Structure 1
């Protein structure tokens, strides 16, 4: 499997992802890796309908994503991974899927989260996962839009979160 792009965006497939990020990824398939969405048949169906024309969409949990990644049948398939949270990114990486970079685009604010930027809010668990991904050498690419300047996620977390 050839990983072209990986992004955390809890809205998953929406206008920016369908029109900009999917073109930038230049992949033949979007793989949504989310236990929550995998268990929700309505959301799965809606995501498949929202996909850019000609692009296949699969919704899987981490275990299935790892199995598919390791299946020789998909060795030449190009993919764009979409996640809703960094914990599942970390689980995928620890299971042997070699991500080099994760784009952080949208993590909505809700109770129990700290707002880091207009588009990104995090829990303590998110912060721990991001720090571990960083230690594993994965680039944390904080950009909502493709032409935004990259921001240093961990520096912003340190500025906003008082542990």
Structure 2
């Protein structure tokens, strides 16, 4: 048996109000796993993230490799997890490490804009590298990758959004 991942979400803001309020209510996790090699090394960001977890839900910040090990470790089978990464590349690494997202797919909540990127939704910016990572998830791992900011919104398939913007 493995840990129960109830939502796998890419959100450049990681754990914030929408996630802490709407998503935790919708998926009912007992654990939020923020997966980021960068944040795991930043004690201030780690502390802030663990402090904003909603009541009754513990938050942990771990590296990509540590998350892969925990996923296959039976000591963590009781975790009903909301998994967050700040970029699509980390989701690809988790999938490559054997984490099974086939039942839930990958939710893209927000990808922050930077120079040279194109907005594909009001909250998701893309460039060719990120579009390639989305295609790895959809084509190589056969995952449903979709945009959805909050649970009440309709899911929008990312491949269609990429095609509309010529990615």
What TM-score do you get using the length of structure 2 for normalisation? 0.92
Please list every run of at least 4 consecutive aligned residues from structure 1 whose deviation after the TM superposition is greater than 2 angstroms.
none
Between the aligned partners of 1:45 and 1:161, the Cα distance in structure 2 is 40
Q: Check the 8 A contact 1:99/1:138 in 2, yes or no.
A: yes
After TM superposition, give the deviation of residue 141 of structure 1 in Å: 2.1
Say how many residue pairs are matched: 162
Coordinate RMSD, CA, aligned: 1.2
Instruction: Tell me the distance in 2 between the aligned counterparts of 1:125 and 1:39.
Output: 25
**Cα distance between partner residues in 2 of 1:112 and 1:145:** 27
Distance of 1:38 and 1:125 partners within structure 2 = 24
Whether contact under 8 Å (1:62, 1:88) holds in the other structure is yes
Matched, 1:50 2:55: no
User: Does the 8 Å CA contact 1:114/1:161 hold for their aligned counterparts?
Assistant: no
Match of 2:127 in 1: 123
> Residue 109 of structure 2 corresponds to which residue in structure 1?
105
Distance in 2 of aligned mates of 1:48 and 1:108: 22
- Name the residue aligned to 2:9: 7
Which stretches in structure 1 are left out of the alignment for 5+ residues?
A: none
C-alpha deviations, 1:72-128, integer Å up to 9, x for none? 111222111001111110110111110121111111111132211110002222111
**Superposition deviation, residue 10 in structure 1:** 0.9
Match of 1:133 among 133, 137, 142: 137
Equivalent residues in 2 for 1:1-163, closer than 5 Å: 1-100=3-102, 101-135=105-139, 136-161=141-166
Q: Distance in 2 between matches of 1:40 and 1:129?
A: 25
The answer as to whether partners of 2:144 and 2:157 remain within 8 angstroms in 1 is no
